[in-house]
Amino acid sequence: MKKELIFLGPPASGKGTQTARLSEYLGFPHIDTGSLLRAAIKNATPEGLEAKSYIDKGALVPVEIVAAIIKNRLAQDDCKNGYILDGFPRSVEQADILEGINAEIDTEPADFKAIYFDVNMDLLMERIIYRRSCAACSTIYNLKTLPPKHEGACDCGGELIQRKDDNEETAKVRFETYFNETAPLTDYYKAKGVLKVLDANGEIEDIWNRLLQVVG
């Protein structure tokens, strides 16, 4: 049966780390809506050109345009067995739109799951404050729990940098925004009986094994 997966969870909950691995394991695509939008603009698709017109004015791209880009992507052949959707939906309104997209695209019943990465808040803050990424290869480290072999340098030799927003003050704002705007999705999907809560505390390998059990 086709698997349709979305990941929910606050910043630094580990979604990105597990998404890439799960996509390779299951053999179907990880669809990052941000990258999808940038590609549509770069390739000058009709939706991309329309999105660019809003971005050039400093305005938000209307959800209808983003939804059209996502629908085109989910309808492609490499999604016929399933997909992992990242960055959409971010609200209950967008969740309704995604449900409509799946209803149009799916020719047979599909296994849809919304997987919530449940992490202790203190751990989330620690992950953000100690997070570093390689300027050359984008590998992500944690100075406390997953340090590089050599201090200040990636294992590839590249320079390790800290994102400007990876600090406690900014993180608190990001968490507040998430729980105000996106967290209601957990109630939405729980009511539909498709929400799966993943214990995302602990070591990466342990979380991976729990994720496989949740995905089924």
What residues are labeled active site?
15, 90, 131, 163, 174
- What order of strands is seen across the sheet that includes strand 160-161? 140-142, 131-134, 160-161
Bridge partners for 150 per DSSP: 153
Residue type, 202: G
Judging by beta carbons within 10 Å of its beta carbon (0-12, 13-18, 19+), is residue 132 exposed, middle or buried? buried
Q: Return d(Cα 181, Cα 189) in angstroms, integer.
A: 15
Q: Does the N-terminal peptide bond of residue 89 adopt cis geometry, omega within 30 degrees of 0?
A: yes
Q: Are 134 and 160 in contact (CB under 8 A)?
A: yes
Relative to beta strand 131-134, strand 195-199 is unpaired
Q: Which residue has the tokens 């990424």?
A: 133
How would DSSP label each residue in 75-98?
Answer: TSGGGSSEEEEES---SHHHHHHH
One DSSP character per residue, 24-74 reads HHHTS-EEEHHHHHHHHHHTT-HHHHHHHHHHHTTPPPPHHHHHHHHHHHH
